[in-house]
Structure 1
Amino acid sequence: MRTVGCLIFDGVRPFDYAVIGEVWGEQAELPGVPGFELRICGPDGARVRLGGGLERVPDFGLDALADCDLVVVPGVEQPDEPRDPAVHAALRAAHARGVTIASLCAGAFVLAEAGLLDGRTATTHWALADRLAERFPAVDVRPEVLFTGEGRLWTSAGVAAGIDLCLHLVRAAHGERAAASIARAMVTAPFRSGGQAQFIPSPVPEPTAADDDPLARVRTEVLAALDTPWTVRRMAVLALMSERTFARRFAAATGTTPLRWLLDQRILTAQRLLEDTDLPVDAVAVHCGFSSAVSLRPPFTARLGVPPREYRRTFRGACVDGRPAAARYPLVP
């Protein structure tokens, strides 16, 4: 996947356009990243009015999409506005030739308008998911995921999820090291678990300044002692709640279960320690709440695709611009 086409037209979101450039632009100097050819393509090579008053003249016309390895459609400012029929035709032609096509955020509407998502799963920003499902009932809309795809068609949720999908496509084509190098240069995590549920407004009231949030307190204490054998019961006691109430409120606040969140934090901490320290893998495992390197290996491999020792060999000491660039995975309460 070396030749990437970025399809732009009137109303494209500048942020999504910029993300595509960041991921597939001038990245050849990064460790493990192959050289990409990024083509900015648009209708007839005419000047395109992006959102926010920005303008861009495409370097290529729509015909240049046909022999790309990947075509990425940025999100659009107004998903219900009519599009140039030539845009839809170019997408259909590229898909018919076997080109992989991905959309970011509300770009899913453009793929759906072209008829490419009929009978397939898709996602978009959570606030637009109902509208996408209503306009295109043949599309199986999944509002809970960060991105989804089948074979040669991919869609992502809003804003940061577009970065997640772009890095996933790099990872699938060129491996973990390439995706991690680009992620480090962008100062973002190479992989985020979870879904959009954590970003959807919740009916659970926010704590006031005078009201101590027991869930935040639990998360803080758990992160400070990951080697403790935490259970839902133990966390619920700390929060002064019943197990059922604690689990329900935790899921409403974070979009995941207490034990899934705990495993996520243990894996993230293991990644950081494997990259940034010389601790033996057994010591890393124990520090993160696993009994040994043997018990760390299955969940770590399932999450990242490589076992802990191989992960350390791949990422320990990698550099960006000649400086150490170990990824920092923040522990977010």
Structure 2
Amino acid sequence: MISTVATLVLDRVSMFEFGVVCEVFGIDRTRHGVPPFDFRICGVRPGEPLASITPGLTLTADHGLDGLRGADLVVVPPPGATSGFPAEALDAVRGAADAGAIVLSLCSGVFLLGEAGLLDGRTCTTHWEYVEELAARYPAATVDPDVLFVDEGALVTSAGTAAGIDACLHVVRRELGSTVANTIARRMVVPPQRDGGQRQFIEQPVVACTSDSLSATMAWMSDNLELPHTVDELAARASMSTRTFARKFAAETGTTPVKWLTTQRVLYAQQLLEGTDLGLEAISRRSGFGSGALLRHHFNRVVGVAPADYRRRFGCNAAELTR
């Protein structure tokens, strides 16, 4: 669970990613059912204006580095450089991590975590422009260049810009449940979850086709998760060849139709686990998995815990799943 969130801002902070952190954690949404966060903006010299990467725009932190102490989550947006970080900032982030805080970096903020020694032996990611530099600087880390974010438990790293939204909402979903994450996403008018394994950058062009047709097909898939789907049938519904449909789908979503559909089914299963007392077999049928064993497999892979454990943590009651 997370209730105290501290974000570390340094000179030439990127305002978009900082704004993402504020939007997810810094706005009071208690009237919409979101639990309150003790949100702290922390800097090396509180009260002194910091330059941002946007000319003419400054930011003033209201907490010093001591604001990281006791935080459940420490977020590091891009600090405007990949080196030369203040030693006291590195010490504060390292100390928060040692005390048990989840540490989340957005875009190039991962370099600060590398300098603090938090990447050794872990998998991480960053914006695709920085992945080679990151891998060269921290050879003890495994850098995944193709994903939106990487969840290593107490360490979460994300790719650039919009991927920061995905990573923040992922942490909310993991720690507070899908209902809270969906509520925040709905207020932000963004998709509630993109799979972290989706590609962050696609170079090859794709054949032209009407996005309206694809959008309608994806909406139909979401409304009919309980039905069996094949790529051939989905392509026909979208009035495309199978190959064109697969290429267009990858360009639009960064993943395959099968992987996207599996993620949507897991998300729906999460909602049923939270809001109903249906047994596992009934949930597996409604979400399109067909069997409890298949649901357990995919749920554990995507969410990281078993369905029964998820219900005990986020369900509306303590009823056990029917086996």
Same fold (TM over 0.5): yes
Following the alignment from structure 1 to structure 2, what is the Cα–Cα distance between the partners of residues 70 and 158?
19
- Is 1:62 the equivalent of 2:65? yes
Q: 1:124-143 counterparts in 2 under 5 A? A: 124-143=126-145
TM-score when scaled to structure 2?
0.72
Q: 1:183-332 counterparts in 2 under 5 A? A: 183-193=185-195, 195-197=197-199, 199-205=200-206, 207=208, 212=209, 230-234=229-233, 251=250, 254-264=253-263, 290=288
Give the direction of change, closer, same or farther, for the CA distance of 1:69–1:295 in structure 2 (3 Å limit).
Answer: closer
The equivalent of 2:75 in structure 1 is: 72
Residue aligned with 1:154, SS: strand
Residue-by-residue CA offset, 1:208-227 (whole Å, 9 max, x unaligned): xxxx57x9857755755869
What amino acid sits opposite 1:108 in the alignment? V
What amino acid sits opposite 2:66 in the alignment? D
1:298 Cα offset (Å): 6.7
Aligned residues: 295
Residue aligned with 1:93, SS: helix
Unaligned 5+ runs, structure 1? 273-284, 315-333
What amino acid sits opposite 1:145 in the alignment? V
The equivalent of 1:22 in structure 2 is: 23
The equivalent of 1:123 in structure 2 is: 125
The equivalent of 2:98 in structure 1 is: 96
For the aligned residue pairs, the C-alpha RMSD in angstroms reads 4.1
Give the direction of change, closer, same or farther, for the CA distance of 1:221–1:163 in structure 2 (3 Å limit).
Answer: closer
Residue aligned with 1:38, SS: strand
Following the alignment from structure 2 to structure 1, what is the Cα–Cα distance between the partners of residues 228 and 151?
37
The equivalent of 1:8 in structure 2 is: 9
Following the alignment from structure 1 to structure 2, what is the Cα–Cα distance between the partners of residues 229 and 175?
27
What amino acid sits opposite 1:188 in the alignment? V
Q: Which moved more, 1:133-142 or 1:5-14?
A: 133-142
Following the alignment from structure 2 to structure 1, what is the Cα–Cα distance between the partners of residues 125 and 24?
21
Residue-by-residue CA offset, 1:290-313 (whole Å, 9 max, x unaligned): 598999977996667879xx9xx9
Following the alignment from structure 2 to structure 1, what is the Cα–Cα distance between the partners of residues 215 and 180?
32
Give the direction of change, closer, same or farther, for the CA distance of 1:248–1:186 in structure 2 (3 Å limit).
Answer: closer
Following the alignment from structure 1 to structure 2, what is the Cα–Cα distance between the partners of residues 91 and 203?
39
Contact 2:4 2:73 in 1 (8 A): yes
Contact 2:268 2:287 in 1 (8 A): no
Residue-by-residue CA offset, 1:1-33 (whole Å, 9 max, x unaligned): 222111001021101111111122232523432
Residue-by-residue CA offset, 1:196-248 (whole Å, 9 max, x unaligned): 41x413223553xxxx57x985775575586985433455778776x789757
Following the alignment from structure 2 to structure 1, what is the Cα–Cα distance between the partners of residues 140 and 174?
28
What amino acid sits opposite 1:105 in the alignment? C
Give the direction of change, closer, same or farther, for the CA distance of 1:41–1:88 in structure 2 (3 Å limit).
Answer: same
Contact 2:146 2:201 in 1 (8 A): no
1:119 Cα offset (Å): 1.2
Following the alignment from structure 2 to structure 1, what is the Cα–Cα distance between the partners of residues 158 and 34?
23
1:140 Cα offset (Å): 0.7
Residue aligned with 2:107, SS: coil
Residue aligned with 1:18, SS: helix
Following the alignment from structure 2 to structure 1, what is the Cα–Cα distance between the partners of residues 191 and 253?
18
Residue aligned with 1:110, SS: helix
Contact 2:150 2:157 in 1 (8 A): yes
Residue-by-residue CA offset, 1:238-287 (whole Å, 9 max, x unaligned): 8776x789757765675323333444567789999xxxxxxxxxxxx99x
Following the alignment from structure 1 to structure 2, what is the Cα–Cα distance between the partners of residues 155 and 69?
16
Contact 1:44 1:61 in 2 (8 A): yes
Following the alignment from structure 1 to structure 2, what is the Cα–Cα distance between the partners of residues 22 and 33?
13
Following the alignment from structure 1 to structure 2, what is the Cα–Cα distance between the partners of residues 217 and 200?
23
Which structure has the larger Rg over C-alpha atoms?
A: 1
- Is 1:144 the equivalent of 2:143? no
Give the direction of change, closer, same or farther, for the CA distance of 1:36–1:91 in structure 2 (3 Å limit).
Answer: same
Give the direction of change, closer, same or farther, for the CA distance of 1:179–1:306 in structure 2 (3 Å limit).
Answer: farther
Residue aligned with 1:68, SS: coil
Residue-by-residue CA offset, 1:105-164 (whole Å, 9 max, x unaligned): 111111112221111111112232222112221111112222223232221122222122
Contact 2:227 2:288 in 1 (8 A): no
What amino acid sits opposite 1:47 in the alignment? P
Residue-by-residue CA offset, 1:163-188 (whole Å, 9 max, x unaligned): 22222222333333322222222222
Following the alignment from structure 2 to structure 1, what is the Cα–Cα distance between the partners of residues 265 and 172?
25
Unaligned 5+ runs, structure 2? 272-283, 317-323
Residue aligned with 1:30, SS: helix
- Is 1:38 the equivalent of 2:39? yes
Following the alignment from structure 2 to structure 1, what is the Cα–Cα distance between the partners of residues 234 and 25?
43
TM-score when scaled to structure 1?
0.70
